Structure 1
Amino acid sequence: MGYPRKLTRRFQAFDNFAISFTVINIISGIFSGFGFGLNAGGPSILVFGWIGVSVMVLFVGASMAEVASAYPTSGALYFSAGKLARRHKGAWSWYTGWLNFVGQVGGTAATGYAAATFVQAFLTLQWPSYEPTGHRTVLITALIIVVQGLANTYTVHLVAVLNRISVWWLLIGLVVIVGALTVIPDQHQPASFVTYFANNTGFTSGLYGGMLGLLVASWTFTGFDASFHMSEETVRATVNAPRGITRAIACSAIAGLLLMLALVYAVRDYDRVAAADAPPVQILIDGLGVGTAKALLLVVIGAMLFCGLANLTSNTRQIFAFSRDGAMPGSRWWHSVSARTRTPVKAVWLAVGCSLVLVLPGWWSRTAFTALVSVNVVGLFLAYGLPILLRLRLGDDFAHGPWHLGRWGRPVGIVAVAWIVFSSVLFMLPHAAPLTVTSFNYAPLALAGVLAVATLWWFTSARRRFHGPVGYGRPDEVAAMDLV
């Protein structure tokens, strides 16, 4: 791909799959977004929306996997955009990279925020006198993200081990939670309950309220580009990276549907659960009792912490690669690699700092979580869509890698781009009515702010020096530069 090797290839096929499966993290995504879905469409959107979004995301993932097989680098999306564009390679690469950056930062922030919310739910069960507040949520989120940054700085080998453990934590946790919700409660909702629709968003249009509920599944299915970003640390990346992407999505779709059904059918009093501060926790308490609910809540919190750790790891690899080509302020800092760990430590702390900035509005905003989720979903999926669009424009000129879709590549790519455009517009719209300072969806402002800075910088200076991914020389010259 034209780069000297700086990162050690320590990831096997399972490790590459594990990091995307962990970042998708069905337990974290479903538990954190379930309450929003109950009020934006109810069981019908939670279940059938999950199935529909899973299919659409699999189209996106398959198209991305085809590109990943052709360009297996840490730069991933922005690198491939620069290589696939016929003209204006620098601009395509530039905007793809910045969208990917803000989307991943949003993912790290949203996952940490979700974990902090459920930590407070556990503390409330353990000590009833504890009072959860928005300020405490922000502070706990900051602590979580900083600890994850320290782990990526000082215990890199442990992080790799934790990524492997996380898969089994998710799978075993899923079996335990689904089994408990299926067997223990003395009553369940009737089979027809999955068709129940509810619109408690404040908007008069049930169609609009129901479409907003698709955010639950879309938020869960983000971050599978992690397998792409870890390519330079993966053995046989041209095959294992695309397999990691598609397998992570497919496994998450099936396992997530089982978890979604278990939670939906365990709802006892719909109105009471939908109005709760943490609806999934209320479901666990109603069906399993406080003691069991607390134990399973620890499983959920653990899954969220694993998810945030993997997301931060992927985030730093994107920053490392983008900076390697001089596309970020202070690039020489962010693409430097620690001599001890062979990882981009400074990039870790840039990701941590930017995530903390995105979390700050949670100090006053009651829609902070859904705004963070929107930043994550829209930023990432637009970054996913640009290389896929460019691959479609190339047509038969696209030089595919060992893993490819053959004649299905074009129709799959068209569906993927159409879904990305639709969902990106939808999730930038208001999430609650009436619109106030505390209910405003600030995701458009966050994304617009980053893109405004990127655009200003591009036209004032970057377009004269940034022309896309940098080539360091011929393959034999690059091989001579290998540092590991």
Structure 2
Amino acid sequence: MGYKQELKRQYSTPQVFAVAFSIMGLVPSIASTLAFSLPAGPVGMVWGWFTASIFILLVGLAMADLASAMPTAGGLYWWTHYFAGVKYKNPLSFLIGYSNTLGLIGGICSVDYTLALMILSCVSISRDDGWSASRGVIYAVYVGLVLLHGICAALSGRIMPKIQTACIYINVSLVIATVIALPVGKVTRGEALNPGSYVFQHVDNETGWPTGWAFMLAWLAPIWSIGSFDSCVHMSEEAMHAAKAVPLGIIWSAGSACVLGFLTLSVMAATMDPNAWAFSRDGALPFSTFFRHISKRIQYQPVRMICGLVVACLILGLLCLINNAATNALFSLFVASNYLSWGTPIFCRLVWGQERFHPGEFYTGRLSKPIAWIAVVYLLFGVVLSMFPTGGPNPSPADMNYTIVINGFVWVGCMAYYFLFARHWFTGPRMTVDDNSSTNSESGAYNSVVSSGGPMNAKAE
């Protein structure tokens, strides 16, 4: 595919799956997103999760087809450039590269901010004196977590696969503990479990929207939670046998989240009271020459890029010092940006690039195109859904959903940057097999891929 090997291949198939599965962290993710599903009652919690996660699994299948055929860390924007029409490939891949990078940064921000809240909640509960953390304290804990995770990412590359494997057992154990402890605790207190009719049929509507739309807004819980399987794609150049490991990692993580999440939420309803680095390598991000450096002294890790991500997260985290609406902007960066990034290469394959698509080891066969179209429609719907205020129409400034403002600014700014400046030098993914080569992917890497009968037959990855 035109790239020389720069990262160290050390992740097995289960470890690639573990990366996405551990980022999802089902139990804490479900706990932190209940506010989206509870207003619709148990039906919103249980069936909202199930229906949305089925669509997300279909997105995963469509992405797995592409990941098996063309496993590269650039993934989403690389595929967009490969499949898009000639006039659109450069601007679209530029937009998707920036959008996906922003989504990844937003994911780091939202995960660490949620963790900071959980840690401080434990402190508040243990003190039992009504203490509540100020926004300054929350940000301080958030800063500490971002720095800690940056250090871990840079220095623990050699043992990270083992850490990810351990995270599988930890997360599964949390699910098991939850589905056992909640019913046992309720029965021990002499209370009866809620009947199945309540768990699977009872509908509430605590929003200002119609009941049907309140149910759709409950989809935001799985949308926020099952949103990291594309991390498997960004692990392509660190995975052993990537053409198999990456698609299986995508499917296993999305599928397990669907099943285990449905189980966990059913039990809760029964017991409750009524890898940006690749885009930089291709020269698109500011200071790309500096950030794309791979440290050979520190276990072949993109240390400079990790430091850059840490700084970006610390700056964006300052939003939590303002108010709740600004804090929610951290989360809005994640969904809309990623959904646009996931949907565009799938759409480009369907519209422009079907003849250029050569299946890899994993392929959904005759169902591939129908699955891809369903995935595109769902992702478009998800982008729109993520922009609705969850409390109801006519929100106040404090309750407004600022997703359209944040992401719109990035998307419009990205396209303005491209047409004013970047179009003069950005030509899409570049070959790195020959360090002296500046050949763009259309005239070099892509031609070698196509002439060899497909990406999996190409000698260079």
TM-score in terms of structure 1 length: 0.84
Match of 2:364 in 1: 405
Residue of structure 1 in register with 2:46 after alignment: 47
In structure 2, distance between residues paired with 1:373 and 1:259? 23
Structure 2 residue aligned with 1:296: none
Measure how far apart 1:376 and its partner are: 0.9
Secondary structure of 1:156's aligned partner: coil
Are the equivalent residues in 1 in contact too, given 2:50–2:258 (CA < 8 A)? yes
| Cα separation, 1, equivalents of 2:143 and 2:203 | 36
Matched, 1:74 2:100: no
The reply to whether residue 385 of structure 1 matches residue 343 of structure 2 is yes
Q: Give the conservation status (yes or no) of the 8 Å contact 2:319–2:330.
A: no
Residues 474, 158 of structure 1: alpha-carbon distance in 2 compared, 3 angstrom cutoff = closer
The residue number in structure 1 matching 2:270 is 265
Deviation, structure 1 residue 452: 2.6
TM-aligned CA deviation for residue 68 of structure 1? 0.5
In structure 1, the partner of 2:25 is: 25
The answer to which of 430-439 and 233-242 deviates more is: 430-439
What are the superposed Cα offsets for residues 389-444 of structure 1, whole Å, 9 maximum, x if unpaired? 01112234422212111111110001000000111111112223552332222222
Q: Is the 8 A contact 2:41 2:205 kept in 1?
A: yes
Which residue pairs with 1:248 in the alignment?
Answer: 253
The 3 A distance-change label for structure 1 pair 343 and 21 is: same
For each residue in 1:188-223, what CA deviation from the matched residue of structure 2 results, as whole angstroms up to 9, or x when unmatched? 22212222222333x243333332221001111101
2:428 corresponds to 1:471? no
For residues 5-49 of structure 1, what are the alpha-carbon distances to aligned partners after superposition, in whole Å with 9 as ceiling and x for unaligned? 11010111111111111122211321110133212x121111001
Take 1:10 and 1:382, find their aligned partners in 2: how far apart are those partners? 30
Q: How much has 1:455 moved relative to structure 2?
A: 1.3
CA distance in structure 2 between the partners assigned to 1:473 and 1:162 by the alignment = 31
132-141 vs 372-381, which deviates more? 132-141
Cα-to-partner distance string for 1:106-155 (whole Å, 9 max, x where unaligned): 11111111111111211111112332333322322222111101111222
Tell me how far 1:472 sits from its aligned partner: 3.4
From the superposition, tell whether residues 450 and 123 of structure 1 become closer, same or farther in structure 2 (CA, over 3 Å). Answer: same
Alpha-carbon displacement from aligned partner over 1:248-271 (angstroms, at most 9, x marks no partner)? 111121111111112111112x4x
Distance 2:325 2:152 in 1: 29
Equivalent AA in structure 2 for residue 144 of structure 1: L
Q: Return the letter of the residue paired with 1:51.
A: F
- Which of 369, 372, 378 does residue 419 from structure 1 map onto? 378
Q: Map of 1:55-70 to 2, 5 A cutoff?
A: 55-70=54-69
Q: TM-score, normalised by structure 2?
A: 0.88
Instruction: Say whether residues 1:92 and 2:97 are aligned partners.
Output: no
Q: Contact 1:96–1:383 at 8 Å: present in 2 too?
A: yes
* 1:197 matches 2:199: no
Q: Mark the runs of 5 or more structure 1 residues left unpaired by the alignment.
A: 271-316
Matches within 5 A, 1:324-335: 324-335=281-292
Change (3 A) 1:198 1:20: same
One-letter code aligned to 2:300:
R
- Aligned residue for 1:199, secondary structure, equals coil
Q: SS in structure 2 opposite 1:72?
A: coil
Q: 2:332·2:406 contact (CA, 8 Å) conserved in 1?
A: no
- Say whether residues 1:211 and 2:216 are aligned partners: yes
Counterpart mapping for 1:451-466 below 5 A: 451-466=411-426
- Find runs of 4+ consecutive structure 1 residues off by over 4 angstroms: none
Report whether the alignment pairs 1:156 with 2:118.
no
The separation in 2 between residues aligned to 1:326 and 1:262, in whole angstroms, is 49
Letter in 2 for 1:261: S
Alpha-carbon distance in 2 for matches of 1:171, 1:403: 26
Distance 2:97 2:227 in 1: 16
The residue identity in structure 2 corresponding to 1:134 is R
* C-alpha contact (below 8 Å) 1:110/1:369 kept by paired residues: no
Map 1:66-465 onto structure 2 (within 5 A): 66-87=65-86, 88-129=88-129, 130-186=131-187, 187=191, 188-194=193-199, 195-201=201-207, 203-268=208-273, 270=274, 317=275, 319-340=276-297, 341-368=299-326, 370-393=328-351, 394-433=353-392, 435-465=395-425
Same amino acid, percent of matched pairs: 27
Q: Secondary structure at the match of 1:31?
A: helix
Rounded Cα–Cα distance in structure 2 between residues aligned with 1:94 and 1:384: 14
SS of aligned partner of 1:390: helix
Describe the superposition over 1:58-84 as per-residue Cα deviations: whole angstroms up to 9, x where unpaired. Answer: 110000000011111111111111112
The aligned length equals: 428
Give the direction of change, closer, same or farther, for the CA distance of 1:370–1:210 in structure 2 (3 Å limit).
Answer: farther
Q: Distance in 1 between matches of 2:137 and 2:397?
A: 20
